[in-house]
Amino acid sequence: MSLIQEIEKRKTFGIISHPDAGKTTLTEKLLLFGGAIQVAGAVKSNKIKKHATSDFMDIERQRGISVATSVMAFEYKGKKINILDTPGHKDFAEDTYRTLTAVDSAIVVIDVAKGVEEQTENLVGVCRTRNTPMIVFINKLDREGKDGFDLLDEVEGKLGMKVCPLSWPIGMGQRFKGVYNIYEGKIRLFSAHGKQSEEDTIEITDLSDKILDEVLGERDADTLREEIEMITEVYPSFDKEAYAQGKLNPVFFGSAINNFGVKEMLDCFVEIAPSPLPRITEERSIEPTEDKFTGFVFKIHANMDPKHRDRIAFMRICSGVFKRNTNYLHVRQGRNMKFPNPTMFMASKKNIIEDAYPGDIVGLYDSGNFKIGDALTEGEELNFLGIPSFSPEQFRYINNADPMKSKQLNKGIDQLMDEGVAQLFTKLDTNRKIIGTVGVLQFDVIQYRLEHEYGAKCNFEGLPMHKACWVSSDDKEAIEELKSRRKKNLAIDKDDRLVYLAESAWTLQMAQDNHPNVNFHFSSEF
């Protein structure tokens, strides 16, 4: 198969939502359709021993939430599908933001009862800044929820989307009878057995056909006719080009837990979702069809298999063909590296691969050489854009709770910081270590993983802090003056960059006013 054929075969997307909208459950059902798994896991229940395939960390299985992005690949209808299931919880948003740099499209999951929630707005905002094509899946139709038209208004109003319904629910909750697939002109009848079969499908070429009254009952059939007529008049018809540019958003309705309405969306997705798209670097735009290999690391995960203490760098292939046991340039370090065991993932299950193509996500065993954002190429020096660290909002001193395990603690902190789960700052005046995170829950995850993966115990000490800002200046004297006057507010990050720790918005403003030649940055990408 040629490079272009391999590229066209691939669809790489992320699933995003507010916590508890059913994102991980939807991921499971997509894997079921792809034949990648035979039985879906129970995301919440600890009584059931099967757990969601995409939640592979112990702490995820205990809490029933996703705290790290999972990467999964499967084949469906001749296409190679790469899913990135992201954390929904806002405390892990930074992992999700970085993951969205590695996808070509996204599926946004919304709970029919709760509608558009805060974290959905934040994540969709990130996608919109990149014009990422998005499909909306309105989930949990087997429960009572908001009216379909009210939800579409909410999606347009809160998320700034231009919606185009491609399926429509027939009833809801106890009255839920099925979904009309507008895109294919078919009705699929609902039965709460969690299986979709072709026998449940009725092809409808004309909604005025009397068979509709027989199948749904006269009242529901008339309601469906009226609602579809309204959809036709109010909403634009589907335009693949507008969707690809991020200007039109198809909407599907269903119930992921019952495996219902998922197939309609997946069938449409493999038809319309974009194949791998170009990627931007500081130097130029990278086209996937280029002969020479390029790729970048967007995530690092330590101890995916605690028995082997392995550390994996997740790399998105951007162009050319990545080959096993071939020398590639690690751009930041300026040296060649080869990888004898590159892997592809089904959550925590790994398969060694010989080659990979644009759109694929490859796991590289890493002994500490990679940082998030690193590029690999066949020799060209490239620096990929859009993979920043953000200014943390929660700060705590980290203390060693077991002096006999100092070495393990330091190693654990180093590796977890490389993953990007949090940021480490060392104060200039006292050398005390501070952990900065986006959300409070990350401290629990760090403490848990240090103990269970590294055998080190720590405790945290509260630190009232408003912001951490990276500082820079072309004027060396201005930096020296800042150091002499504000030493107690200064720290260095893991990459030895100078950081200003502000106790409040007022002290930050004062520092900016008193040091006009110093630039204060709220993202590490400056």
Q: Does the predicted TM-score (pTM) go above 0.85?
A: no
Same domain, 182 and 157: yes
In angstroms, rounded to a whole number, what is the distance separating the alpha carbons of residues 113 and 151?
A: 9
The CATH number given to whatever domain includes residue 214 is: 3.40.50.300
Residue 146 has pLDDT above 70, yes or no: yes
The contacts of residue 417 (CB under 8 Å, 6+ apart) are: 423, 424, 494
Question: What angle do helix axes 406-419 and 441-454 make, rounded to 10 degrees?
Answer: 130
Is 385 part of a structural domain of the chain?
no
> Could you tell me the pLDDT band of residue 70, with boundaries at 50, 70 and 90?
low
Is 383 part of a structural domain of the chain?
no
Mean pLDDT of 453-473: 90
> Could you tell me the pLDDT band of residue 91, with boundaries at 50, 70 and 90?
very low
Same domain, 336 and 430: no
pLDDT digits (tens, 9 = 90+) for 254-288: 988 888 888 888 999 999 999 999 998 889 999 99
Question: What angle do helix axes 148-159 and 218-234 make, rounded to 10 degrees?
Answer: 30
What does the block give as tokens for 42?
A: 């129970």
The CATH number given to whatever domain includes residue 459 is: 3.30.70.3280
Is 516 part of a structural domain of the chain?
yes
Same domain, 102 and 164: yes
What does the block give as tokens for 381?
A: 């020096």
Mean pLDDT of 33-37: 64
In angstroms, rounded to a whole number, what is the distance separating the alpha carbons of residues 455 and 442?
A: 18
Mean pLDDT of 513-526: 83
Residue 86 has pLDDT above 70, yes or no: no
- How distant, in Å, are the alpha carbons of 36, 300, 355, 515 from that of 374? 30, 11, 20, 33
Q: What is the pLDDT of residue 202?
A: 73
The contacts of residue 429 (CB under 8 Å, 6+ apart) are: 487, 488, 490
Mean pLDDT of 326-335: 94
Vertex 300: Cα angle to 499 and 310 (nearest 5): 125
Q: What is the pLDDT of residue 65?
A: 40
Q: What is the pLDDT of residue 192?
A: 58
Same domain, 303 and 263: no
Residue 199 has pLDDT above 60, yes or no: no
pLDDT digits (tens, 9 = 90+) for 482-508: 999 999 999 999 888 999 999 998 999
More confident of the two residues 367 and 330: 330
Q: What is the pLDDT of residue 399?
A: 93
Mean pLDDT of the chain: 83
Provide the total of helices (H) and of strands (E) in the chain, helices listed first: 14, 31
Q: What is the pLDDT of residue 420?
A: 72
pLDDT digits (tens, 9 = 90+) for 401-434: 998 999 999 988 888 887 777 889 999 999 999 9
User: b/e per residue, 360-378, with b = 16+ CB within 10 A?
Assistant: bbbbbebeeebbbbbbbbb
Same domain, 292 and 252: no
Within a 13 Å sphere around the CA of 176, how many CA atoms are in the beta-carbon half? Answer: 27
Same domain, 142 and 245: yes
Q: What is the pLDDT of residue 100?
A: 81
Residue 196 has pLDDT above 90, yes or no: no
- 3-state secondary structure string, 228-280? HHHHHHHCCCCCHHHHHCCCCEEEEECEHHHCECHHHHHHHHHHHCCCCCCEE
